[in-house]
């Protein structure tokens, strides 16, 4: 969730709900125990959140406006991974992303470069991973909001063909 400055009479709140991506992974060098391998992911996806605007009226009746929103994205993720043992690996990288949607007034920046950390386990037919992403750019910024960076933890399923 975004950091909110509620010290004034008005404030905005963005409650990040979910994100979904689908893509294709290019794996450079097959993983082997105690070795490095590299992944490049080409993705398209969407992120969804709930926006609220609070306004303290002078008559004592607060005004609250709520809406659900979403944006589309395309990204290229690059990670360097280390195989701890035969089927388990950890990785670090980045995932430059471009966000787009018609009438995207509330998005300040349309480009972000999240830092990525992941842990993955290969089950032969699918690789299951937990991926943490930390956005480096304020995507949502209003005069009432201090930070609008997207930070998330994702479940990743990689199915090799």
Closest of 36, 146, 124 to residue 81, by C-alpha: 36
| Between 145 and 39, residue with greater pLDDT | 39
Query: What value does the mean pLDDT take over residues 33-45?
Result: 91
Question: What does the alpha-carbon distance between residue 158 and residue 54 come to, in Å, rounded to a whole number?
Answer: 41
Closest of 72, 91, 68 to residue 21, by C-alpha: 72
pLDDT of res. 147: 67
pLDDT of res. 68: 79
Instruction: Tell me if 130 sits within 8 A of 121, measured CB to CB.
Output: no
| Residue written as token pair 């294709």 | 24
pLDDT of res. 140: 66
**Residue 29 CA to its chain's centroid (Å):** 27
pLDDT range class, residue 10, cuts 50, 70, 90: low
Instruction: Tell me if 139 sits within 8 A of 112, measured CB to CB.
Output: yes
| Residue written as token pair 């089950």 | 123
Does the pLDDT of residue 8 top 60, yes or no? no
Q: How many CA atoms lie within 13 A of 153 on its CB side?
A: 3
124: left (phi over 0), alpha (psi -120 to 50) or beta: left
Buried b (16+ CB within 10 A) or exposed e, 9-40: eebbbbebeebebeeebeeeeebeeeeebebe
- Predicted TM-score (pTM) of this structure: 0.75
Segment 82-113, tens digit of pLDDT: 999 888 999 999 999 998 875 555 566 789 99
pLDDT of res. 137: 86
pLDDT range class, residue 45, cuts 50, 70, 90: very high
Give the Å distances, CA to CA, from 97 to 8, 73, 75, 80. Answer: 33, 6, 4, 18
Count the helices and strands in the chain (H runs, E runs).
Answer: 0, 11
| Between 152 and 161, residue with greater pLDDT | 152
């Amino acid at each position: 969730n975004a950091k909110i400055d509620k010290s004034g009479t008005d404030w905005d709140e963005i409650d990040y709900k979910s994100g979904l991506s689908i893509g294709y992974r290019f794996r450079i060098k097959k993983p082997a125990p105690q070795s490095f391998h590299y992944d490049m992911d080409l993705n398209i996806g969407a992120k969804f959140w709930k926006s609220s605007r609070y306004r303290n009226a002078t008559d004592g009746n607060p005004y609250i406006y709520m809406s659900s929103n979403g944006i589309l994205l395309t990204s290229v993720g690059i990670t360097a991974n280390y195989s701890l043992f035969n089927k388990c690996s950890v990785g670090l990288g980045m995932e430059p992303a471009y966000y787009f949607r018609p009438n995207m007034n509330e998005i300040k920046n349309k480009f972000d470069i999240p830092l990525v950390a992941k842990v993955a386990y290969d089950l032969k037919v699918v690789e299951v991973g937990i991926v943490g992403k930390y956005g480096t750019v304020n995507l949502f910024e209003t005069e009432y909001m201090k930070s609008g960076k997207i930070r998330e933890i994702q479940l990743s399923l990689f199915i090799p063909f």
